[in-house]
A and B are shown apart, each in its own frame.
Chain A
Amino acid sequence: MLDRIEFLIMEAFVSLRRNTWMTFSAVTTSAMALFLLGGLGIAYLSIMRFAGNLPSRLEMRVMMQLDMPRDQVAAIGEKIKEMPEVANVRFISKEQAWKKMREAYPDATAGLDNVMPDAFGVTVKDIGQIELVRSKIEQIPGQDGVEYMREEYQVIDQAVRFIRLAGAVLGGMMLLTSGVLIYNAIRLAFVARRREIKIMELVGASRSTIWLPLLVEGVVQGSLGGVIAASVLWAAFDMVQAMASSLAFLGEHPAGYPVVMAFSVLVSVGAVYGLICSAIAVRAPRKER
């Protein structure tokens, strides 16, 4: 069995060596596609992590009608708490609110009676559901409006949408290009190995003996692309992190590069993709014969 595996793998590497330039272009293009996808993936995850911390900052303020009795206020609070999208509900009494207002604007509030209503501070579990929760709360009778940092939310939402779109379009295009190159590399391998393949067919070699080296070749090309992509991404991530750590507005220090995850995901994706492309290439000449 080991003897057999050795023969098949040796056949694949002979072919890889023979088509050096085609192999090089297939590997580098796969690497670029996977780098792009991996980079956009990490950017997406970072934004999502950042967005995940935002609900506590993006607390919605649900205002009650002025002079509403406390038992009615408490009932509305319970209704909000029951919503599945809501993470936390904090009661802010009009006295607390007024005290804060007077501390913040002592001159403007001097001599005035309390004009603040009771309110609730509401945070959501997922930033993407903030609009949904707002509209649900606004349908509760007795509330007097919902306020939250709509602009900040929209910026984050747009960033996430952009990363998704860019990832789909650019990554997809690069992946398609690398797929065509892997396909071409395998087709060229067919041409380069036509004598061997012809001999194998003449002497009755099984289909798997003829095709497996070509499939291994595609897997190797895709995997190498994954290794290169994960390595370059690592270096790029370190650079970006070094720059980002000096920027105060990003707040907390971003998480480190997920080495194991990045290598395992990118190499696996590359290998599977290489396998699929080479399988398509291997099937194509079969129809012609």
Chain B
Amino acid sequence: MDGPAPYVRLDRVEVKYSDVVAGLRGVSLEIQKGEMVFLCGQTGSGKSTLLKCLTREVRQTKGKVNIGGRDISQLPSKDVPLLRREMGIVPQDFGLLPGKTVWENVGYALRAVGKTRREVRKAVPEILDRVNILHRADALPHELSGGEQQRVAIGRALINNPPLLLADEPTGNLDQVHSLEIIDLLSELNLRGATVLVATHDMAIVAKAGKRVIQMEFGRIAGDTADA
């Protein structure tokens, strides 16, 4: 095989939620380090399940999931937190703590992964600056626009400085302008070296981004621009 080994590799992955409900039906794909990839498809097409396989929120019924050359399906449960520190996860609903300010939301996540108060004081402004939300550090989530909230969520995903960023419908709750802002931010992080995987059904922003697109339908890959 030519070229470098893929950073993310799924090999005939199947996820069955029950005898009749399947999340993924034999998905195989490869993503190179530093790539930015959009996973597109309707609700129920398997985008979120695929991301959850990578975060080990869901375990595949069959097949192999490799990240950085390591088969994560063999990873013991106790090591899953360590796996997640190697990736930044941006959930669809932002997942911000309503009673905490922007600064505290990011600081809380840092404290949760064992950083000291001093480390938190140093890291939070840097992270907020990276996602261009430092000027709203003292604002509570309900005082922010959807785009700003998503920036905070992305900032929180960066606390471990991860090489892999996974975003599940990051523009799902945003208008067109804010959606483009978020995609620009993710593209910028990708340019700085992060491998970015975005699940979305917003084809308009995918078209504008001009990146690799994997189309999913009924738990299968229906198309991949990398193959074109």
Which chain A residues have a beta carbon within 8 Å of chain B's beta carbons?
Answer: 3-4, 7, 195-196, 198-207, 209
Contacts and interface: CB of A to CB of B under 8 A. Distances in A.
A203 B116 contact: no
Contact of A207 (B78, B91, B97): B78
Interface in B69-114: 78, 81-86, 89, 91, 95, 97-98, 108-109, 111-114
Contact of B108 (A3, A196, A201, A207): A196
A204 B156 CA distance: 12
Given A196-B97, A196-B108, A199-B97, A204 B91 contact: no
A205 B80 CA distance: 10
Contacts of A206: 81, 114
Contacts of B160: 203-204
23 contacts: A3-B117, A7-B111, A199-B95, A199-B108, A199-B109, A199-B112, A200-B109, A201-B84, A202-B84, A202-B89, A202-B157, A203-B85, A203-B112, A203-B156, A203-B159, A204-B81, A204-B82, A204-B83, A204-B84, A204-B86, A204-B113, A207-B78, A207-B81
Contacts of B108: 196, 199
Contacts of A198: 91, 95
A203 B98 CA distance: 18
Instruction: Decide if the interface of chain A is mainly helix, strand, loop or mixed.
Output: helix
Given A203-B160, A206-B81, 20 more contacts: A4-B114, A195-B95, A199-B95, A199-B97, A199-B108, A200-B109, A200-B112, A201-B84, A202-B55, A202-B84, A202-B89, A203-B84, A203-B85, A203-B113, A204-B84, A204-B86, A205-B81, A205-B113, A206-B114, A209-B112
Nearest to A205: B112
A207 B112 CA distance: 10
Contacts of B109: 199-200, 203
Contacts of B113: 203-205, 209
Nearest to B81: A204
Interface residues of B, number: 25
Nearest to B83: A204
Contacts of B98: 195
Nearest to A6: B117
Contacts of B95: 195, 198-199, 202
List the 9 shortest-distance A-B pairs measured between CB atoms, nearest first.
Answer: A204-B84, A204-B85, A205-B112, A204-B81, A200-B112, A203-B109, A202-B89, A3-B116, A206-B81
A206 B160 CA distance: 14
Contacts of A4: 114
Contacts of B111: 7
Interface string B213-225: 0000000000000
A200 B85 CA distance: 11
A209 B95 CA distance: 19
Contacts of A195: 95, 97-98
A202 B55 CA distance: 8
A187 to B, nearest CB: 20
A201 B116 CA distance: 19
A208 to B, nearest CB: 10
Contacts of A201: 81, 84
Nearest to A197: B112
Nearest to A286: B77
Nearest to A3: B116
A209 B83 CA distance: 16
A4 B120 CA distance: 13
Contacts of A3: 116-117
Contacts of A199: 95, 97, 108-109, 112, 156
A4 B114 CA distance: 7
A25 to B, nearest CB: 24
B130 to A, nearest CB: 16
Contacts of A7: 111
B97 to A, nearest CB: 6
Nearest to A2: B116
A98 B66 CA distance: 102
A204 B85 CA distance: 5
Nearest to A203: B109
B103 to A, nearest CB: 15
A276 to B, nearest CB: 22
A263 B91 CA distance: 48
Nearest to B115: A3
